[in-house]
Amino acid sequence: MNGQEVYTRLIENYNESGLSRSGVSGKRLASRISDISEIGRTEEGGSHRIGFSKEEKQAKQLVMKWMTEAGLEVKEDGAGNVFGRLEGRDKQLSALLSGSHADTVPNGGHFDGILGVLVALEVAEAWKETGYIPEYPYEVVIFSDEEGARFNDGFTGSRSMTGIVDMEKQKKLIDYEGNSFEKVLNQVDLTSEQFFSAKRDLKEIEAFIEVHIEQGILLEKSDIPVGIVSGIAGPSWLEITYRGTAGHAGNTPMNHRNDALVAAGELVCHIPSLPMKVSSTAVATVGKMEVKPNGINVIPGEVTLFVDIRDIYEHTRDELIKLVINAAEDISKKHKIESEYNEVLKIEPVPIKEKMMEKLKRSIEAKGIEPFFLPSGAGHDSMILGRFIPTAMLFVQSKDGISHNPLEWSSLNDCVHSVHVLKHFLENY
């Protein structure tokens, strides 16, 4: 779909008379979703705006233009995070933040991340239309490089803002094109000096609420437009390497092989049985594998695979990590090949505090929606901020649970419901 097709599909079954009220415009939100969808459009009709790319920057600049037109004071920090601020009635209060990210995975969808930014901005637009001034200062935020597609890392902007970036590790990062972190920053007019000075005084922030598509099927199965996130799973990424012996595929007898891919394949097949041993909410996925020499007629001598391990509880997530590592080592011994592992990412899960869930529950009930609580298996910038400040998340129903895919979709009705819930939450905080 092109941008016009995205807009047409969004407004096709939109309940304008019931939802475009109190200054909120569903058609404005739909138009902006479609405009952003044109930036980094792929041949398959998806979005390709990886972190610190010219496409991510272009999307930010367009939103910054809309922020200015909505009367927000716009600033960008050294990590490329964007803040659009509206002063509140009480200037002594810390700010309420809402937003998400503008980057995508390669060939991703049109709602992941950017919907949360545009929903937060639509609240400011509604206040402008009605002349409402919130009690708390309000900031709409766009975080840089949430997805981590460029460096096999993630949450770069929110980690920088909260000051939890490992400087030495960050400087050593190399992207898939062989570019250093410094060079990548320079390509979007940022410097490492600016980046490592982007830490913000978190006393300036009262709370953060992020609106995001569910990326799952629970809300759709229950026919509920929005839901309250009860906890955010903390991801761990394990890099596991098997080293065998490369050899000729025709001349090496089967009982004299040290095939690294056979061992890796056995681990891939074994991993799905492990999460259920620790928790009903735990998951583990092998989504990336590198085979060397990667020739049709060559026995694989080295295989590196990446295991994404998540749960909303830290102790069960860490128990699952141990099970995967133990399985990898047992398989290497069985096949008499070497193995090693490296934990390239580990972020603590974040349970949402009861007080924040209760505030969000009241706002959902005020809009005539049945409260529905669900965990987030995906990581979000809320997971980073939630370690330091009160944080809440509102999920919007996803069609068929599809995400990180050009087919990703949420109805405009559900998206606008999230605007009204967020608006009530902020006005009654």
Chain segment 318-333, per-residue pLDDT in tens = 999 999 999 999 999 9
pLDDT of the residue at 3:
86
pLDDT tens digit sequence for 33-43:
999 999 999 99
Rounded CA gap, 146 and 125, in Å?
A: 25
pLDDT of the residue at 343:
95
Mean of pLDDT over the chain = 96
pLDDT of 171 higher than 90: yes
Question: How far from the centroid of its chain's Cα atoms is residue 114's Cα?
Answer: 10
For domain 234-346, give the fold.
Alpha-Beta Plaits (3.30.70)
112 is in an annotated binding site: yes
Share of the chain above pLDDT 70, in %: 100
pLDDT band of 312, cuts 50, 70, 90: confident
48 is in an annotated binding site: no
pLDDT of the residue at 297:
97
Name the residue ranges covered by the structural domains of the chain: 3-233+349-427, 234-346
Q: What CATH architecture does domain 3-233+349-427 belong to?
A: 3-Layer(aba) Sandwich (3.40)
Global pTM value: 0.85
Strands (E), 244-369: 247-248, 283-292, 298-299, 302-311, 338-346, 350-351
DSSP letter for 231, please: E
Asked if domains 3-233+349-427 and 234-346 share a fold, the reply is: no
270 in Cβ contact with 286 (< 8 Å):
no
358 is in an annotated binding site: no
Average pLDDT over residues 58-77: 98
pLDDT of the residue at 378:
84
100 in Cβ contact with 143 (< 8 Å):
yes
Q: Name the residue type at position 261.
A: L
417 is in an annotated binding site: no
pLDDT of 234 higher than 90: no
256 is in an annotated binding site: no
pLDDT tens digit sequence for 176-201:
899 999 999 999 999 999 999 999 99
Sequence length of the chain is 429
Question: How far from the centroid of its chain's Cα atoms is residue 199's Cα?
Answer: 20
